[in-house]
A and B are shown apart, each in its own frame.
Chain A
Amino acid sequence: MRIRRIVLILLAATGLGLAGNALSGQGVALTRNAYVREGDEEITAKEARDRLDKGALFLDARPVAFYEMSHIPGALPLPEDDFDRGFAKIEPRLRSSFDIVVYCSGFGCEASHLVARKLKERGIPAVVLSEGWPAWTEAGYPTKEGAQP
C-alpha cells in the first residue's frame, strides 16, 4: 500500500512538472543545454579539431591552474573569473583572429558561454566547444601541459 502511494505521489508530481513546463510559456527546453542562450553558437569536438588544424584561436575559460595542468595546444588562458585582466593582455590577438573557440570544463561549467558573450559584447565573435574539455579529451585529441600555449 505504501509503495503504491509513493509511486502515485512521484507520478503525479512528474506529470504536473512536465505539464507545467510545457504549458507555462517559460519552460525549459528539455533537449537543450540550459547554459545556451539565444545567439550562442556551439560546435562539436570534431569541428573544433578541424578548426584548430585550420588555425583557429582557442581560449581556455577555466581558472589558470586548470590551464597549467593541461590545455588544448595553442590555446590562450582567458579565465572567466578574471576576464577583464586577461582580455587586456591578449586583446590585439583577439581582434586579429577571425575564428575563436572558447572552452571550459564541460557539463556544469558556464564559463565558456559567459566568455563568448563578453567577447561578443566587445565586437569579437566566438563559438563555444560543446561539452568543453571532457569532449576534447574523450575524443583523444592532443593536449599540452604547462603555462605555455
Chain B
Amino acid sequence: MRWLRHPIVYWVVSIGLGAVFIYASLDKIAHPLDFARIVYRYQLAGPSATLGVVPANVLAVVLPWVEIVTGILLVTGLWRREAALVAGGMLVMFLVAVGYVLWQGIDVAHCGCFTVGGEGRSAGWTLIAGDLGLLAAALYVANVRPRTAASVSAAEPVAAV
C-alpha cells in the first residue's frame, strides 16, 4: 500500500474531496429556504420553544458554509488535516441522518446533497454507500502522511537510458 502515501495520490484525493464539498454547498447557499425545507423532511432537528429559533433553519443556514470553508481548505491545502476531520464529522452526521430516515421509514425523496431544487437523489442505500466512500477519503486525508518529493524520487530509480 505504498502508493497510498504517494504525494500525487494524496493531493488528488484532497482536492477531489474539497471540490465535492464546494460543489455541494453552492446551491444550498444560493437557496437557503429550499434547503431548510429539505432539512425539515429528515425530522431530526425539530422545533424548540426554549431556543427561540428553529434549529433546522440554523442548520440549513450554517451547514453549507461549513461545507464551502472545508472544501476551500482541502483544495488549497491550508489546515488540510483539520478540514478533512471536519469533513469526516459532517459525513458521519449525514450517515446518521440517512440511516435515521431509513430506519423510521421517512420518505425523503430529495436528499439535498448537491442541489435543492428539481429532481434529487433519494435518501437511500446508494447514498449511504457514496457517503461511506467520501468518509474513507476524509479519513485518508486526515491520517495519512504523504512521502516527501525527495523520498519519492529516491525510492523510484531513474530508468536506464
Contacts and interface: CB of A to CB of B under 8 A. Distances in A.
A9 B54 contact: no
Interface string A12-42: 1110111011001011111111110000000
Interface string B30-73: 00110011001111001100001110111011111110111001
B113 interface: no
Contacts, number: 93
A14 B40 contact: no
Nearest to B31: A26
A28 B33 contact: yes
Nearest to A63: B107
Given A30-B58, A31-B53, A20 B29 contact: yes
A28 to B, nearest CB: 5
B40 A17 contact: no
B65 A14 contact: yes
A31 B40 CA distance: 14
A17 B64 contact: yes
B128 interface: no
B82 interface: yes
Contact of B82 (A2, A20, A26, A131): A2
B83 interface: yes
A28 B52 contact: no
B85 A6 contact: yes
A21 B28 CA distance: 12
A47 B158 CA distance: 82
B61 A107 contact: no
A14 B62 contact: yes
Contacts of B69: 9, 12-13, 16
Given A34-B33, A34-B56, A28 B47 contact: no
A83 B47 CA distance: 27
Contacts of B85: 2, 6
Interface string A86-125: 0000000000000000000001101000000000000000
A130 B82 CA distance: 41
Given A9-B86, A13-B65, A18-B62, A107 B32 contact: no
A54 interface: no
A31 B82 CA distance: 32
A31 B52 contact: yes
Contacts of A2: 81-82, 85
A147 interface: no
Given A5-B82, A35-B40, 8 more contacts: A14-B62, A18-B61, A18-B62, A32-B54, A32-B57, A34-B54, A35-B37, A131-B47
Interface of A: 2, 5-6, 9-10, 12-14, 16-18, 20-21, 24, 26-35, 107-108, 110, 131
7 contacts: A2-B82, A17-B65, A20-B29, A21-B61, A26-B33, A30-B54, A107-B47
